[in-house]
A and B are shown apart, each in its own frame.
Chain A
Amino acid sequence: MSESRESSVAVNLIGLAKSFGPVTALAGLSIDVAAGELVALLGPSGCGKTTALRALAGLQDLDRGQILVNGRDVTNLNTNKRDMGMVFQAYSLFPHMTALENVEYGLRMRAHRTPAAQRRSRSSELLDLVGLASHANHFPHQMSGGQQQRIALARALAISPTVLLLDEPLSALDAKVRTQLRDEIRRIQLEVGTTTLFVTHDQEEALGVADRVGVMKMGVLEQIASPSELYERPRTAFVAEFVGLTNQLPGTVRDGMIELMGTKVPTLPGSIGSGAGIALVRPESILVEPSESGNARVITASFLGAIARVHLQTKDGASIIAQIPSSDAAEIGAGRNVTISLMSQPVFAKPA
């Protein structure tokens, strides 16, 4: 098993801009990735995250901008000279080669010329790392989607790349495989220590895997922060709504506070200063108590294992989703009257 290396490579994307005719894919994107870090680029389709990744890989040319890898300008360097390993969404394994031959491929290239014995041992090492040593002589069409992606990962890592790039590697897989593989990828990345950029449209995936997550919208970065910071202190309405579930509750903002359901709650930086606003409230910030004279009624309650999600309707007709521990959900069934109240977590308030 390889020793975990401390990567000293940092990546800087500076002012990346690219348009495809009238469509702007990137509008001045700047991101710094620290050595050994896994940064996830998250956003809806068309936000430019894949374009950014491919630009970093050299598969996409740019209109403007600069890419530095460890201080070295690689902007005009060919793909095959950038020494980056990439895992694609699908179809990237060479169909006429076995798993072992696929993994070995990079090591056969003149750029990474390695003698045969060393090639074999390195490839076997990586197949062990991804847990597929027994499939070394299988062809891609004999393996499942999840297995193929693991081989793709092994192949990308075989050349000990300076940067690892993952382009929605889990999107084409079944839900269950997705969760397992996601943790695998993170485990391997931590073990090998390669600086990594991971693109996805699935926020659960991004939050679960990354050191920092960059949320993108229409070619720009909205916010880049650790998963918890992104979740608890979103800096824009888009980030607040894209990451995790939110309830939209109207209220009036004054002096950095917004009044909702009888409680005054502090607003986060970036919210509107005063006037009518809409607070984006997380489901778990809503407390639910069964009570006959309550201010809301339960529509449905879904048991999701450790937590329960409760759909409510207030006396004013607003729809609210609350999240409570399952143990508290015992008496909260459909049609019950409840009292809901807010925890005093800071919320993001957007203009009404």
Chain B
Amino acid sequence: MSTKRSPFLTIWRWAIMLIVSVYLLTPLAAMLDFSTKIGRGKRGLYAWKAIFQQPDLISSIGVSLELAILVVLAVLLVVVPTVVWVHLKLPKLRRPLELICLLPLAFPAIVLVVGVSHTYNWISIHLSESPLTLTAIYLVLTLPYSYRSVAAALNSVDVHTLSEAARTLGASTGRVLFGIVMPTIRAGVMSAAVISIALVLGEYTIASLLNFQTMQVEINLVGQQDASIAVAVSLAALIFVFVLLVIIPTSTKRTKVLEPIES
């Protein structure tokens, strides 16, 4: 139903959008500009090419990408099933789980790393020195976002009824979990995965204070000497995550399971 809208309002709308867009897009444009400057007024892709000439930087990008994959796997294999499991079988634990998953918001990374440094000392001595051990603490950092994504998806579809229906038709627990529940919450799971990737790729605090060489740590290091390269990598990472978010369907639109029959 169309409603009347005054032209005054429309002007305001576009004014606000313009102002905010300029504020947010200027640094991005500046990054592009900065990373392509090579001296007096000339432009070139020197900074971008130089990325590949920094072995530490390249290896740290590899490390971060591996971490991102590991964390996503961990989210898919540990967090999502746990949230679903609690939702279906242990409803009394729902509240405590929600609180636990909100804890990382109240305990910011800078504080968490203080408490975790002894543990990581132990891990680097007794288990492994690899930066991939960061997976565990990163998983904890993603909890508020991945939990909320999955929980919201579970709430919007009546999983309880679906699983009971499947159960009465003879489905086993595994079948219910992976054949019925997972597909219906797919959007929420995807959203959790993408946020996790963005988080891992952007994380600096814990990695640097635990002395691991991840992408962000290296960018910072490189940037102290040659800011252009750092800017170029940052822009690339940003575009990468943006593309991911656009490609992977993470919209909150509910998948229509049944189309109503028009009478």
A212 to B3, CA, bound (A): 29
The answer to the question of B4 belonging to the interface, with a C-beta cut-off of 8 Å to chain A, is yes
Chain B residues with Cβ below 8 Å from A343 are none
The answer to the question of A232 belonging to the interface, with a C-beta cut-off of 8 Å to chain B, is no
Chain B residues with Cβ below 8 Å from A78 are 4
The answer to the question of B2 belonging to the interface, with a C-beta cut-off of 8 Å to chain A, is yes
The answer to the question of B247 belonging to the interface, with a C-beta cut-off of 8 Å to chain A, is no
A61 to B263, CA, bound (A): 28
**A61-99 CB contacts (< 8 Å) to partner B:** 61, 78
Chain B residues with Cβ below 8 Å from A59 are 1, 3
Separation in Å of the A287 CB from the closest CB of chain B?
32
A207 to B1, CA, bound (A): 27
Residue of B nearest to A44 (CB): B263
The answer to the question of A54 belonging to the interface, with a C-beta cut-off of 8 Å to chain B, is yes
Chain B residues with Cβ below 8 Å from A137 are none
Separation in Å of the B6 CB from the closest CB of chain A?
10
**B247-263 CB contacts (< 8 Å) to partner A:** 263
The answer to the question of A60 belonging to the interface, with a C-beta cut-off of 8 Å to chain B, is yes
A92 to B8, CA, bound (A): 26
Residue of B nearest to A58 (CB): B4
A-B CB pair tally, cutoff 8 Å:
13
Chain A residues with Cβ below 8 Å from B2 are 20, 60-61
Residue of B nearest to A45 (CB): B263
Separation in Å of the B3 CB from the closest CB of chain A?
6
0/1 per residue, A25-61, Cβ < 8 Å to B? 0000000000000000000110000010010000111
Chain A residues with Cβ below 8 Å from B263 are 44-45
Chain A residues with Cβ below 8 Å from B3 are 59-60
The binding surface of chain B is classed by DSSP as loop
Chain B residues with Cβ below 8 Å from A61 are 2, 4
Chain B residues with Cβ below 8 Å from A54 are 1
**B1-38 CB contacts (< 8 Å) to partner A:** 1-4
A108 to B4, CA, bound (A): 24
Residue of B nearest to A79 (CB): B4
Chain B residues with Cβ below 8 Å from A45 are 263
Chain A residues with Cβ below 8 Å from B1 are 51, 54, 59-60
Separation in Å of the A136 CB from the closest CB of chain B?
32
Separation in Å of the B13 CB from the closest CB of chain A?
20
User: Which one of B1, B2, B263 has the highest number of Cβ atoms from chain A below 10 Å of its Cβ?
Assistant: B1
A45 to B260, CA, bound (A): 14
Residue of B nearest to A18 (CB): B2
Separation in Å of the A181 CB from the closest CB of chain B?
24
A61 to B4, CA, bound (A): 7
A132 to B23, CA, bound (A): 53
Separation in Å of the B20 CB from the closest CB of chain A?
28
Residue of B nearest to A50 (CB): B1
Residue of B nearest to A20 (CB): B2
A59 to B2, CA, bound (A): 8
Residue of B nearest to A78 (CB): B4
A61 to B1, CA, bound (A): 9
A51 to B1, CA, bound (A): 8
Residue of B nearest to A59 (CB): B3
A165 to B190, CA, bound (A): 46
A44 to B263, CA, bound (A): 9
Separation in Å of the B245 CB from the closest CB of chain A?
32
Separation in Å of the B190 CB from the closest CB of chain A?
31
Chain A residues with Cβ below 8 Å from B4 are 61, 78
A123 to B194, CA, bound (A): 53
Separation in Å of the A279 CB from the closest CB of chain B?
25
Separation in Å of the A57 CB from the closest CB of chain B?
11
0/1 per residue, A170-198, Cβ < 8 Å to B? 00000000000000000000000000000
Chain B residues with Cβ below 8 Å from A60 are 1-3
Separation in Å of the B2 CB from the closest CB of chain A?
7
A60 to B4, CA, bound (A): 8
A280 to B1, CA, bound (A): 36
A78 to B4, CA, bound (A): 9
0/1 per residue, B237-253, Cβ < 8 Å to A? 00000000000000000
A6 to B1, CA, bound (A): 34
Residue of B nearest to A25 (CB): B1
A225 to B4, CA, bound (A): 34
Chain B residues with Cβ below 8 Å from A51 are 1
A20 to B3, CA, bound (A): 12
**B34-69 CB contacts (< 8 Å) to partner A:** none
Separation in Å of the B259 CB from the closest CB of chain A?
16
A2 to B2, CA, bound (A): 37
0/1 per residue, A236-264, Cβ < 8 Å to B? 00000000000000000000000000000
A51 to B3, CA, bound (A): 12
Q: Can you report 13 residue pairs joining A to B where beta carbons are below 8 Å apart?
A: A20-B2, A44-B263, A45-B263, A51-B1, A54-B1, A59-B1, A59-B3, A60-B1, A60-B2, A60-B3, A61-B2, A61-B4, A78-B4
Taking A44-B263, A54-B1 as known contacts, 11 extra A-B pairs with beta carbons closer than 8 A to each other, sorted by chain A number, are A20-B2, A45-B263, A51-B1, A59-B1, A59-B3, A60-B1, A60-B2, A60-B3, A61-B2, A61-B4, A78-B4
9 shortest interchain CB distances as A-B pairs: A60-B1, A61-B4, A54-B1, A59-B3, A61-B2, A60-B2, A59-B1, A20-B2, A51-B1
